[in-house]
Amino acid sequence: MKAKSIQCVPQKLTISKFQFNLSPLEEIHLPVYKGSTLRGGFGHAFKRVVCIQRGKECGDCMVKSTCVYSYIFETSPPEDTAVLRLYKNVPHPFVIEPPLTSQRLFKKGEELTFKLILIGKAIQYLPYFIYTFDELGRIGIGRGKGKFHLKSVTSEIEESGREERREDMGRNGVIYSGEDKTLHNRFRVLTAKDILPSDNTPSGIEIEFLTPARMVFNERFVAKLEFHHLIRTLLRRVSSLSYFHCGELFELDFKAFIEMAESIKCTDRDLRWYDWQRYSARQDTRMKMGGVMGKAVFEGDLEEFMPLITLGEYVHVGKGTVFGLGKYRVTINSEE
């Protein structure tokens, strides 16, 4: 298990990443952390756009098995699933990365952007996301329901490490233009092979959590992070995304892999617990969504773990990823 290989990540898992560029038509008032507002507004508008039996819960709907809203937003395991049979819900096939700025007031004419990551089968539903956010602009978001214009959607390629051929996409990387309502359905889809880290053998890595990471171990949220906590959580998330959204049962000796992870040491830890709350309209209550933020340095034989850790930079880690939680950035310290 020493040679570098992409076998420690699913081979059929696919990812695409986009940037949505919004232009406020009036003042938009948002909370400091904007992920919940964007996700909540998207869900409301999405159901309004596609639901044929309004007023019914998805579980009681006769078209649930073929409904794109149910698949994207109320993701549950199919009846014939080979894994997670007892789970009511499985990971959603998308991540919304809100802007990390502390700016709360966006005035008319300013720009508001966020990132969208689509995984597996969900990639083919990009037009639904675009249409829904265009509709959400007419409904409005935030306090006072400020309206916006969906100016454009562009392909995000900065993390691939390769030069994208612009002729394979729309003009200047634009997938969708809000001016002429045109959609260029040509963009890059990344696979495990595309996201392999560099050939350098890492002697250590620094992981910086940019949004709260809600990782659970032994039924408790992790506050003092160890490397195996990260690997366990990534394995659960990636294997579920692979099976339910990419049609691949991720076969790996999880026990042996985790035992290897337990040998990696945390040599520096500057983490804090960040408490964040969001309001759930569905449950009519405020929910705590805190997690760890900050930096941790790990040292040891890291080579086999790097493909999985690099993949996690795209799909995030832990609970609440649809809100953009669990976003992290990796800095590699390589051996000379």
Every domain of the chain and the residues it spans:
6-13+192-334, 15-183
What's the pLDDT score for residue 12?
Answer: 92
C-alpha Rg value of the chain to the nearest Å? 20
**Average pLDDT in the 163-173 region?**
47
End-to-end Cα, the chain, rounded Å: 22
Tell me the two tokens of residue 9. 């990540």
**What whole-number distance in Å separates Cα of residue 181 and Cα of residue 127?**
11
SS3 of residue 142 by DSSP: coil
* 2 pLDDT above the threshold of 90: no
What's the pLDDT score for residue 62?
Answer: 79
Give, in order, the Cα–Cα distances in Å from 111 to each of 88, 107, 116: 38, 9, 16
Residues 6+ apart with CB under 8 A from 39: 96, 322, 323
| Fold match flag (6-13+192-334 vs 15-183) | yes
Fold of 6-13+192-334: Alpha-Beta Plaits (3.30.70)
**Average pLDDT in the 140-159 region?**
88
* Burial of residue 184, with CB atoms counted within 10 A of its CB: 0-12 exposed, 13-18 middle, 19 or more buried: middle
Residues 6+ apart with CB under 8 A from 301: 260, 263, 264
What's the pLDDT score for residue 200?
Answer: 63
Q: What angle do CA 58, 62, 66 make, to 5 degrees?
A: 80
**What whole-number distance in Å separates Cα of residue 323 and Cα of residue 39?**
6
* 172 pLDDT above the threshold of 70: no
**What whole-number distance in Å separates Cα of residue 94 and Cα of residue 108?**
29
**Average pLDDT in the 243-261 region?**
93
| CATH code of domain 15-183 | 3.30.70.1890
124: left (phi over 0), alpha (psi -120 to 50) or beta: alpha
What's the pLDDT score for residue 117?
Answer: 97
Confidence of residue 169 (pLDDT cuts 50, 70, 90): very low
Question: Tens digits of per-residue pLDDT, 278-328?
Answer: 665 555 566 677 899 999 999 999 989 999 999 999 999 999 999 999 999
DSSP H/E element including 110: none
